[in-house]
Amino acid sequence: MPIDLRLLGSKLAKYREQFQESIVDVAGSTGIDQGRLAKMEIGQVEPTGDEVLILADHYRCDFKFFISDEQVAPFEQTETLYRMHGSDFSKEDRWAVQNFLYLCETEDFLIQELGHAPGAFTFSPSGNYFKRHAEAAAIRLRSAMGHADNVVPRDVYAEFRSVGVHVFRRKLGNSNISGLFIAHPVAGKCALVNYNEDIYRQRFSAAHEMAHAIFDAGQGATVSFEHPNKDDLVEIRANRFASCYLMPPAFLSKLPDPNKWNDSEAIDWANKLRVSCSALAIALRDAKLANQATYDRISRLRIPRNNKIDPELPESLNSTQRSRKEQLLERGLSDHYVALCFDAYRDGIISQGRLVEALLCSQAELLELANLFSRTLHGH
């Protein structure tokens, strides 16, 4: 079947525009002549097979997206995303989002090939009361995870991955963006958490994006901001779900009277729940357990950074390992994802070259990562 050159050219041009690149930029990155690229974009020249692969690699998407009419890349979702929130995403952040989507699609492929298919979680809300939807879904998911009311979820990232959501933490330049959710046409439900945020805020953001995965997958893409519109019922529902999942009202009701807490006690309870003091204050106020003065006071408190626990950076790491893994998380490379990549390489599912691509690293860095994760490479 012949390639529709005009459609292919339109896709190339729109992808370039999404990333705010010029023809000169793409030519410099790909080595393809800029005049030839310009003609490709208006459908006057058919790219070679190698050129299609080079451009697909440059834009971090499946090459089949360019040569087929079938939807095999999340282009429509990102196009909608930038049309609605374009000014909130810098050029660098757009590339960060694209790398995140690439990681999601790669992770989905590896999970399927390794036979590690996750479970699933579905919830069908009834009625039009969004907060009630959130509360009921949080109870249902906590039950599915085996959590009693007094259990604090330890690793929410692992929990949400276990029900089929691709969760990646990655640094974004815009600190006002807490995260985003995208329904990937291949990988499915994908959640990005801004690694630039406070550790406990990231945890809350992950639960917030899980709510979007439960309720809003049909919308395609949503962006979550640190200070959302107070009239946005979808965001209110997601925040309520996160609060109830992390701090069940049934548990909060059994706490000592928050109005009698001193500052140290308030900080201690927030740290036990692994949430910010601000998030705890809101939950206590919503449960009518804290008066306005208590809410104001607790909201202003801060948990010392050194006291916070990050499940993906365990205390068993030495300072060098911890620093290196923090750098990897900034790029979206969690222990979970890296392990999948090395397992697939070990089992012969992917080549060493594909392993390098999947880990977003150079050949030289690959050996260092293998040592960091106690893995071996063939021939080393």
The dotted CATH code for 74-246 is 1.10.10.2910
CA-to-CA dists, residue 112 to 64, 338, 352, 357, angstroms:
19, 15, 19, 18
What are 17's two structure tokens?
């525009």
Question: Residue 170's CB: how many other CB atoms inside 10 A?
Answer: 22
- In the chain, CATH 1.10.260.40 sits at 5-73
Phi, psi of 194 (to 5 degrees): -70, 110
Tell me: the pLDDT tens digits for 65-110? Answer: 888 877 677 888 888 889 889 899 999 999 999 999 999 999 999 9
pLDDT attached to residue 329: 95
Residue 331 to residue 228: CA distance in whole angstroms: 25
Residues of the chain with pLDDT under 70: 1, 71, 379-380
What are 155's two structure tokens?
């690793």
pLDDT attached to residue 72: 72
Residue 300 to residue 156: CA distance in whole angstroms: 25
Tell me: the pLDDT tens digits for 289-313? Answer: 999 999 999 999 999 999 999 999 9
**DSSP letter at 151?**
P
pLDDT attached to residue 375: 95
- In the chain, CATH 1.10.10.2910 sits at 74-246
The closest alpha carbon to 210, from 198, 230, 192, 232, belongs to 192
Burial of residue 215 (number of CB atoms within 10 Å: 0-12, 13-18, 19+): buried
pLDDT attached to residue 228: 75
Burial of residue 124 (number of CB atoms within 10 Å: 0-12, 13-18, 19+): exposed
The closest alpha carbon to 164, from 138, 184, 149, 136, belongs to 184
pLDDT attached to residue 75: 87
**DSSP letter at 192?**
E
Q: In terms of pTM, does the model score above 0.85?
A: yes
pLDDT attached to residue 379: 58
pLDDT attached to residue 51: 94
The dotted CATH code for 5-73 is 1.10.260.40
Phi, psi of 166 (to 5 degrees): -80, 110
Structure-token match 């410099």, residue found: 28
Tell me: the pLDDT tens digits for 168-192? Answer: 999 999 888 999 999 999 999 999 9
Encoded amino acid at 126, one letter = S
Helical segments of the chain, H only: 5-18, 23-30, 34-41, 49-58, 64-67, 75-85, 91-114, 130-144, 156-161, 199-215, 233-246, 249-252, 263-273, 277-286, 292-299, 319-330, 335-346, 352-358, 363-372
pLDDT attached to residue 349: 97
